[in-house]
Amino acid sequence: SQTIHQWPATLVQPVGSPLSLECTVEGTSNPNLYWYRQAAGRGLQLLFYSVGIGQISSEVPQNLSASRPQDRQFILSSKKLLLSDSGFYLCAWSTGGVEKLFFGSGTQLSVL
Amino acid sequence: GEDVEQSLFLSVREGDSSVINCTYTDSSSTYLYWYKQEPGAGLQLLTYIFSNMDMKQDQRLTVLLNKKDKHLSLRIADTQTGDSAIYFCAETHSSASKIIFGSGTRLSIRP
């Protein structure tokens, strides 16, 4: 069966520090991968998605970047965090077709 | 562009039916979804409907789609305390690789 791992679960970082959130998927190959952000009291915003290794589509210009170094690995990064980067970050995968998304358990990022 | 809108809050009495509404703008939407998010967790797919369907029923859940008005609703019969969560409407179309979500509706249950 397929599983998705996302870590860490919580993270507290100072303003200006770097960020690296990792997401891996097991039990499937060539998934579509996604990073979403859920800010406090707000909805789900698509940040990046990837349909293959090295292929990244950015939805919102911002302080963040994404990379897909391996088929089932998706990394969200920042060189210098801003206060506004705080939020709940969710990784997800799908196999295409109906595009049912399967979500990780999320990372709560607090930038202080 | 693509946009999905929902009301932010809904409060219902335990045992009553809950109806969560959603509107979308993309007329080429092919699939429409309802996801549920419990506190501090990721989202789970509740149900989905193809755009060529008007209704889909799954136990206590009924999804209604009015394609002309671009309106989607989720009805939860006999609402229970375990139904307390944020419910997200979402859409995509067959040529896209991304799913667009609404802002989510927080459903609270009162005794």
Annotate chain B with DSSP letters as a single string. ---EEE-SEEEEETTS-EEEEEEE--TT--EEEEEEE-TTS-EEEEEEEETT-SEEEETTEEEEEETTTTEEEEEESS--GGG-EEEEEEEE-TT-S--EE---EEEEEE-
Percent of chain A with pLDDT over 70: 93
CA distance A33 to A49: 6
* Amino acid symbol at A40: A
> pLDDT tens-digit profile of B25-57?
887 878 899 999 998 888 899 999 988 889 999
Of B42, B92, B102, the CB nearest to A105: B42
Q: What average pLDDT does this structure show over B71-79?
A: 97
pLDDT tier, A43 (very low <50, low <70, confident <90, very high otherwise): confident
B22 touches A: beta carbon within 8 Å: no
Spell out which residues of chain B touch residue A8, defining contact as CB-CB under 8 Å.
none
